[in-house]
């Protein structure tokens, strides 16, 4: 079962990567090779981590792309789990 309230990957980028290094969003975006808007949208939870961004983050901050995608997946699954109670789905079983 996924963690109930995993952090958004953008929170991790801000708190564990940018702040300790004293980087601004503008400086980090330039280093990542993305626009300031792209990084700002990630940090402000408007966008998630794509495979492309996962590679950029891993190259810049020394982690793995898989780690970034796992953070995103955990966040997405927890959000989906919260809304799953409202799904109206018929269960199918083989004969």
pTM of the shown model = 0.87
Q: Is the pLDDT at 2 greater than 70, yes or no?
A: no
Q: What is the pLDDT of residues 34-86, one digit of tens each?
A: 999 999 999 999 999 999 999 999 999 989 999 999 999 999 999 999 888 88
Query: CATH no. for residue 58?
Result: 1.10.260.40
Of the pLDDT bands very low, low, confident and very high (cuts 50, 70, 90), residue 95 is: confident
The range of the structural domain enclosing residue 33 comes to 9-81
Q: Give one DSSP letter per residue of 29-95, joined into a string.
A: HHHHTS-HHHHHHHHTTSS---HHHHHHHHHHHS--HHHHHHHHHHHHHHHHHHHHTT---------
Query: Looking at the domain assignment, is residue 72 inside a domain?
Result: yes
Number of domains in the chain: 1
Of the pLDDT bands very low, low, confident and very high (cuts 50, 70, 90), residue 3 is: low
């Amino acid at each position: 079962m996924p963690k109930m309230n995993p952090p958004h990957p953008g929170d991790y980028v801000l708190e564990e990567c940018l702040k300790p290094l004293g980087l601004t969003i503008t400086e980090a975006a330039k280093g990542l090779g993305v626009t300031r808007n792209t990084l700002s949208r990630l940090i402000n939870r408007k966008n998630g981590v794509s495979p492309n961004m996962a590679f950029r983050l891993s190259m810049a901050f020394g982690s793995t792309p898989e780690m970034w995608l796992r953070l995103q997946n955990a966040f997405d699954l927890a959000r989906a789990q919260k809304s799953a109670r409202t799904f109206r789905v018929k269960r199918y079983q083989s004969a």
